[in-house]
Amino acid sequence: MRIRAALYTKDKAPVTVSFCQASIRTYRLNTASSSNVSRRMRLKWFLKDPAGIFTASIALLLLIAVLLSTQYTIIRWLGIFSLLGIILNAWILALFGLCIWAHIMTMTTNPGTIPLNYEIKPLNQSTTSIFEEDCVVIEEAEMTTDDLESLMDDGSVLIACDVCNTYRPVRAIHCDTCNRCVILQDHHCPWINNCIGIGNQKFFLQLLLYVSFTSIYAILIILCEYTLCMNTLCGFQSYSIPGRIGAWIIGAACVFGSFCAILLGMEMCSIAEDSQLEAIALQLESMRSSEARSTLERHLSVLFGTNAFQFSWLIPSLPKYSEKEFQLVYGYR
């Protein structure tokens, strides 16, 4: 299998490439300025996949069902106007609010797709590069997949995607479900009807964390209700306290919590060992000082748009990059 690739540089000096024999042509990418590219890649988006929409809707409905069931059992146990009941309901509402917020942000945030409107014109035409000023594509060639795997992801090579009919950085992967190339794609998640990539991985990690904590909280509430039950009928049978609804909450919370906690652990291990994130972190450190105390924190800082842990890591808000940081993280530099 051969893949088309383009080599670009900031100047127009000759560059030697070790690709297989192919016709060499000179190009300049013709599109909007880099600031416009970054703005388009940060825009909200929604994947119109019927199966994904159905699955994501089921996930949201299950979250809401667990919320309402937990609130009902708290009210039945402590009363609607008791101080402890109000506090417990406020906490469960806050946790579920964060779950829903993170789920919606993960689902409606561009995961880092490559814009489809890149036009390629000969170098002698006056155009504007998406890269830094005077950064032009100087050669195009074919290469094998083995050559692709051996490439250093230093931003000097763009891969041509024949499906999207555009160029993408080496760190981008084509997703057949989204039908787009996604930068630093982790996987496509049907539960949120979206790819997980550089643009929304922060929200995905937060979602896993919030669901894990919320599940533990719901289980503790039911266990406390059962342990402190003063009713003559205590248990998980019908007409008992916490009853069948308590058993359902524990079962659902165990399934959701275990799944999300295991997936969160796998994500953290993958992020800590990611060589691409390590390379990006080193390049970012040349632009700003890093206060990270571990490899995992350094790599998470790339995804979260900071130089170390901050309170914003706990809030589902968009990562903030300067224009140069954006170009570096996304591979357009």
Backbone angles phi, psi at 118, to 5 degrees: -75, 125
Please indicate whether residue 268 or residue 144 has the higher confidence score (pLDDT): 268
- The half-sphere exposure of 165 on its side-chain side, counting CA atoms within 13 A, is 3
Backbone angles phi, psi at 192, to 5 degrees: -120, 5
Domain boundaries, the chain: 2-43+113-184
Tokens of 307: 């130089």
pLDDT tens digits along 275-332: 888 888 888 887 777 777 888 988 998 899 888 888 889 999 888 888 788 878 877 6
pLDDT tens digits along 114-150: 877 654 444 444 444 433 333 444 455 555 555 555 5
* Pair 100, 63: CB distance under 8 Å: yes
Residue 202 C-alpha from the chain's centroid: 5
Which pTM was predicted? 0.78
Residue 39's CB is within 10 A of a number of other CB atoms, namely 12
**What is the rounded distance in angstroms from the CA atom of residue 95 to the CA atom of residue 66?**
12
Closest CA to 135 of 158, 152, 153, 112: 158
Task: Write down the pLDDT at residue 271.
Answer: 94
Alpha helix segments (H runs only) across the chain = 34-42, 50-78, 83-108, 145-149, 201-227, 243-272, 275-285, 295-304, 323-330
